[in-house]
């Protein structure tokens, strides 16, 4: 059985797979364009890069996409430069904007004005309803299994049916999606598609340094933990020197405050620690990863990952019959 056709406004990809927007510098033009070219939906993360850098990556990704591929931008509402980044992405005529860590009436109005769909990341049926009412074209429901900052302590497959029932717009399932069987399960529960972050980090085209990708391949089940970041939320990370350092209550000395968050605890610098990892020092910075990172055994080309997911999805129905 083939994948159902995902449709969000003009977006109709060959496979209903969004690649998660991962900052800092993990999903930029190289990864996003590779996913778009493989039939999925690519997302550039606007977090931790300048507005001009984001514009450059949007243009580069568009130039790399062959045929009908779709590129969106993830901008976090919690960041001080949210409005600037979102308006810049709209000016660059991305296919869509996706946003998490809060919602505002303005972002949907700006999207409507530009004729570009805005998608919200939510973790409850209540937030999904509010997003739809304000004008979201779709919602991504993210469960506890996701990497990075978490908005819930509930598993995605528990929340998904509630969100599907609560809204009439497309629902994208995210958090802990790793195989074609997971995609089949999400679609059987009413999802129109899925979003995957962790699996695409361990891809040849991912913009992260090799040391970062290798951390994913080497991770065991017991190597992930939850840490509280300066955003005020828990985030799932791969345990390293830095994760152990911030697991206590002491305030770390900050070399430079980037003043990036609307609300920050200032106990350490989340952005700086992500930049450290992106620079290749994966022991002394944050390395976000999903709960099932231990299932990744090798770094593959994006096309191979999507081909594998497609085969696994089809096999689910073959064996069921």
Q: Report the share of the chain in percent with pLDDT over 90.
A: 69
* Out of 68-82, 131-145, 304-318, least confident range: 68-82
Cα 3 → chain centroid: 21
Which DSSP string corresponds to 38-101?
TTSEEEEE-TTS-HHHHHHHHHHHHHH--SS-EEEEE--TTBTTHHHHHHHHHHTT-SEEEE-S
Q: What is the pLDDT of residue 103?
A: 73
Spatial separation of the C-alpha atoms in residues 172 and 248, rounded to whole Å: 35
CATH topology of domain 17-207+300-320: TIM Barrel (3.20.20)
Q: Which residues contact 262 (CB under 8 A, 6 or more apart)?
A: 78, 79, 80
Q: What is the pLDDT of residue 82?
A: 78
Predicted confidence (pLDDT) per residue in 149-199, tens digit: 777 889 999 999 999 999 999 999 999 999 999 999 999 999 999 999 999
* pTM of the shown model: 0.92
Cβ–Cβ under 8 Å, residues 286 and 270? yes
- The crossing angle, in degrees rounded to 10, of helices 105-114 and 82-91 is 10
The alpha carbon dihedral of 46, 48, 52, 57 has a sign of: negative
Burial grade of 102 (CB within 10 A; 0-12, 13-18, 19 or more): middle
Domain boundaries in the chain? 17-207+300-320, 210-293
Cβ–Cβ under 8 Å, residues 23 and 274? yes
Predicted confidence (pLDDT) per residue in 245-290, tens digit: 888 666 566 666 665 555 555 566 777 778 788 889 999 988 999 9
């Amino acid at each position: 059985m083939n994948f159902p056709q995902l449709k969000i406004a003009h977006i109709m990809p060959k496979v209903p797979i969004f690649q998660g927007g991962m900052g800092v510098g993990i999903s930029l033009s190289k990864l996003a364009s590779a996913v778009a070219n493989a039939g999925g939906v690519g997302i550039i993360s606007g977090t931790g890069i300048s507005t001009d850098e984001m514009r450059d990556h949007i243009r580069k990704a568009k130039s790399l996409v062959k045929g009908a591929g779709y590129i969106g931008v993830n901008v976090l509402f919690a960041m001080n430069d949210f409005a600037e980044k979102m308006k810049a992405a709209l000016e660059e005529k991305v296919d869509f904007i996706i946003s998490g860590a809060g919602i505002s009436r303005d972002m949907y109005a700006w999207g409507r004005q530009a004729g570009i769909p805005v998608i919200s990341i939510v973790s409850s049926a209540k937030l999904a309803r509010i997003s739809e009412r304000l004008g979201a074209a779709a919602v991504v429901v993210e469960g506890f299994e996701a990497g990075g900052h978490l908005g819930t302590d509930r598993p995605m497959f528990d929340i998904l049916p509630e969100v599907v029932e609560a809204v009439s717009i497309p629902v994208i399932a995210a958090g802990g999606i790793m195989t074609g069987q997971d995609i089949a399960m999400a679609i059987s529960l009413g999802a129109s598609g899925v979003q995957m972050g962790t699996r695409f980090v361990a891809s040849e085209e991912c913009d992260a340094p090799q040391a970062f990708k290798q951390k994913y391949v080497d991770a065991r089940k017991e190597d992930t933990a939850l840490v509280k970041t300066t955003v005020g939320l828990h985030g799932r990370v791969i345990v390293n020197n830095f994760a152990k350092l911030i697991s206590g209550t002491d305030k770390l000395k900050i070399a430079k405050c980037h003043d990036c968050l609307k609300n920050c605890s200032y106990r350490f610098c989340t952005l700086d620690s992500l930049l450290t990892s992106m620079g290749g020092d994966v022991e002394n910075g944050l390395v976000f990863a999903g709960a099932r990172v231990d299932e990744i055994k090798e770094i593959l080309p994006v096309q191979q990952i999507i081909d594998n997911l497609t085969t696994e999805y089809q096999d689910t129905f073959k064996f069921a019959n």
